[in-house]
Amino acid sequence: MAKLSADQQALKDSIKKSALIWGIILGLIAAGIAYWALGGQGQAMRMGGAAAAGAVVLGLIFSWRMKANSAAAVCGKCNTSFSIKRTDHTEIVALTEPKETRDAQPDYSTKVVKWVEDTVAVTDTYTCAKCGDTTVKKYNKTVKRDESEVIEPAPEKGKPADVKNEESWFSEDTSGAGAAKKTDGGIQTSPVEGVANSQKGKASGKASDKK
């Protein structure tokens, strides 16, 4: 392999550093899982198993990331390794939308989360350090901003129906005896139909006796 230029070497070192960081992070996670899984074993066994699992995962992740990123850094035109660098990056907000979520709470209140979501059009330009060939990649991403949260109180319960006026019964017609009506001067009791007829009959009878 030809000697790398300063730019190529810097790019290679950056790729190597990124791959190592990812390998260490995932290796530690694997070691922790192995240590927990070997809980029934002795301390030495648990430590040894965790170290072995962490080392294997670190090696695999490091190798995978190095190959993937190194392949992406090879110029497709002149086939030079570690020659592709991002030389330009632009972001343009293409769409802005207000959004919200409403989440009912156990006390019947509502948690409302509001935010503004931007759809951003991204353009990256990659250039080969050797032949100058350029590649442009475009994609969209969403960005959330101005997030706020409020609690809407539970709705008030409906008011009970109005209780009837205590004196409203005076204005109701009844078919029973002694129906009462409310007047401006007080309460006037209507005569019972049967009693009125009886009194009328008596009056008629007395008139006929006199004859």
C-alpha 79/C-alpha 88 separation (Å) is 21
pLDDT of residue 154: 87
Residue 96 pairs in a beta bridge with 118
Is this structure's pTM higher than 0.75?
Answer: no
Here the tokens at position 131 are 């032949």
Q: Quote the domain boundaries for residue 30.
A: 6-72
Whether residues 143 and 115 share a domain: the answer is yes
Helix (H, G, I), strand (E, B) or coil at 102: strand
Whether residues 43 and 90 share a domain: the answer is no
Could you give the maximum distance between any two Cα atoms of the chain, in Å? Answer: 154
Residues 6+ apart with CB under 8 A from 22: 61, 62, 65
Radius of gyration of the chain (CA): 46
- The one-digit pLDDT tens for each residue of the chain (211 residues) are 556 777 778 888 888 999 999 999 999 999 999 999 988 888 888 899 999 999 999 999 999 999 888 888 888 888 888 888 888 999 999 999 999 999 999 998 999 999 999 999 999 999 888 888 899 999 999 999 999 999 999 887 654 444 444 444 444 454 444 444 444 445 455 554 544 454 545 444 444 444 4
Q: How many CB atoms lie within 10 A of CB 52?
A: 13
The secondary structure of residue 153, as a DSSP letter, is P
pLDDT of residue 41: 83
What is the phi/psi pair of residue 181, to 5°?
A: -125, 140
pLDDT of residue 90: 95
Q: If you count them, how many residues does the chain have?
A: 211
Is 116 among the domain residues? yes
| Residue that terminates a domain, selected from 99, 130, 152 | 152
Whether residues 34 and 60 share a domain: the answer is yes
Whether residues 145 and 88 share a domain: the answer is yes
Question: Which DSSP helix (H) or strand (E) runs through 77?
Answer: none
Q: State the first-to-last Cα distance of the chain, in angstroms, to the nearest integer.
A: 153
Whether residues 34 and 61 share a domain: the answer is yes
Can you count the helices (H) and strands (E) in the chain? 3, 5
Is 193 among the domain residues? no
pLDDT of residue 132: 85
Number of domains in the chain: 2
Here the tokens at position 12 are 């290679």
Is 206 among the domain residues? no
pLDDT of residue 2: 55
C-alpha 29/C-alpha 31 separation (Å) is 5
Is 185 among the domain residues? no
Whether residues 68 and 88 share a domain: the answer is no
Is 25 among the domain residues? yes
Here the tokens at position 205 are 């009878």
Query: Do residues 22 and 62 make contact, with C-beta atoms less than 8 angstroms apart?
Result: yes
Is 208 among the domain residues? no
Nearest to 191 by CA among 199, 183, 201, 202: 199
